[in-house]
Amino acid sequence: MTQLALVIAGSEATGGAGIQADIRTYQQLGVYGVGTITCIVSFDPKNDWAHRFVPVDPAVIADQIEAATATHDLDVVKIGMLGTPATIKVVSEALRAQPWRHVVLDPVLICKGQEPGAALDTDTALREQVLPLATVVTPNMFEARTLSGMDEIAAVDDLVEAARRIHALGPRYVLAKGGVELPGDDAVDVLFDGEEVTILSEPKVGQERVSGAGCTLAAATAAELAKGASVPDAVRTAKALVTAGIHARVSAKTPFDSVWQGAYQS
Ligand code: PXL
């Protein structure tokens, strides 16, 4: 039987990140992707690739989720960029309207085109309204600092502490991603389930950030969960897919190349 999964995320027009990367990831793992678009991000090549950000009307977001959930029996969802408090509110209300086996939250906090003041409201809304619904949350270093309230994450021990603090906010599992930002030869992620800490480590593929890695990791986790994997197994497969996708990255004129999901072989 074909497995289905929902993704609620933004469109990133170059194809590198956002729902474009999510749907490719679902496809690569044999999962039929169903998508709701929350916002449209168009980088501006005339202005240093600044993010131009347009939120989708909350009523239209609600309509999309209604169409998707009325058409299919969906019990796994990945949530990517939401972007505004109004979007967060409508998505959290829609999520509460039915039970979910897994809610994978990539807590994308700010987009460079947004006002910092608006971003603070967004952080608070995400922390209060969506984070407690997540079965897995996947913060990067910046998001881990913001959600945990820690000023500095300089080593794996700090990342573990951040994961503990974020876990206390309600999600069932925290996958805190060190990525290329923590010093050392390996890209280290920390998985915390409230009791046990699991360290996941893969050799870094260069020192450059690659667009779409975070989106792809969360989407691959959701796809594997949809197929029945446990959270630790889903995360391991997701990390392998991202690592293969960074090796095979698509070169781009934006400051970052982008992950190629099609490179992964299970
Ligand atoms: O990679 C984070 C991200 C997620 N979703 C959308 C984005 C970005 C980064 O640009 O535009 C829609």
- Compute the distance from residue 263 Cα to the ligand 1 centre, in Å: 21
Distance 81 CA to ligand 1 centre (A): 6
Tell me: pLDDT of 66 over 70. Answer: yes
Does the model's pTM come out above 0.95? yes
CA-based nearest residue to 181, from 162, 157, 155, 158: 155
Residue 180 binned pLDDT confidence (cut-offs 50, 70, 90): confident
Cα-Cα-Cα-Cα torsion 175, 179, 182, 188, nearest 10 degrees, comes to 60
Closest CA to 163 of 129, 189, 133, 201: 189
| Residue 83, Cβ density class (10 Å: 0-12 exposed, 13-18 middle, ≥19 buried) | buried
What's the gap in Å between 202 CA and the centre of ligand 1? 24
Q: 92-99: list long-range contacts, CB under 8 Å, 24+ apart.
A: 92/129, 92/130, 92/133, 93/62, 94/61, 94/62, 94/65, 94/66, 94/69, 95/130, 95/133, 96/133, 97/69, 98/69, 99/75
The pLDDT mean for the chain works out to 95
Sole residue written with tokens 């729902």: 19
CA distances from 158 to 15, 29, 125, 164, 165 (A): 33, 33, 25, 10, 11
pLDDT at 169 over 90: yes
133 pLDDT band, cuts 50/70/90, is very high
Determine the average pLDDT of the residues in 145-167.
Answer: 96
116 has a pLDDT exceeding 70: no
| Distance (Å, whole) CA 120 – CA 209 | 25
pLDDT at 46 (0 to 100): 97
φ/ψ (deg, to 5) at 41: -110, 125
CB atoms < 10 A from the CB of 155, how many? Answer: 14
Ligand 1: which residue has its CA nearest to atom 6? 18
DSSP state of 254: S
| pLDDT tier, 113 (very low <50, low <70, confident <90, very high otherwise) | low
Structure confidence at residue 119 (pLDDT): 79
Sketch out the chain's domains with CATH numbers. 3-258 (3.40.1190.20)
> What distance in Å separates the CA atoms of residue 69 and residue 58, rounded to the nearest whole number?
17
> What pLDDT, in 10s, does the model give residues 35-53?
999 999 999 999 999 999 9
Q: Cα(66) to centroid of ligand 1, in Å?
A: 24
How far apart are the two ends of the chain, measured CA to CA in Å? 19
What is the Cα–Cα distance from 135 to 82, expressed in whole angstroms? 17
Atom of ligand 1 nearest to the CA of 112: 10
Give the pocket of ligand 1 (CB within 6 Å).
9-10, 12, 17-18, 41, 80-81, 108, 214-215
Tell me the pLDDT band of 112, cut-offs 50, 70 and 90: low
Q: Which residue has the tokens 């999901």?
A: 261
What are 206-253's pLDDT values in tens digits?
Answer: 777 899 999 999 999 999 999 999 999 999 999 999 999 999 999 999
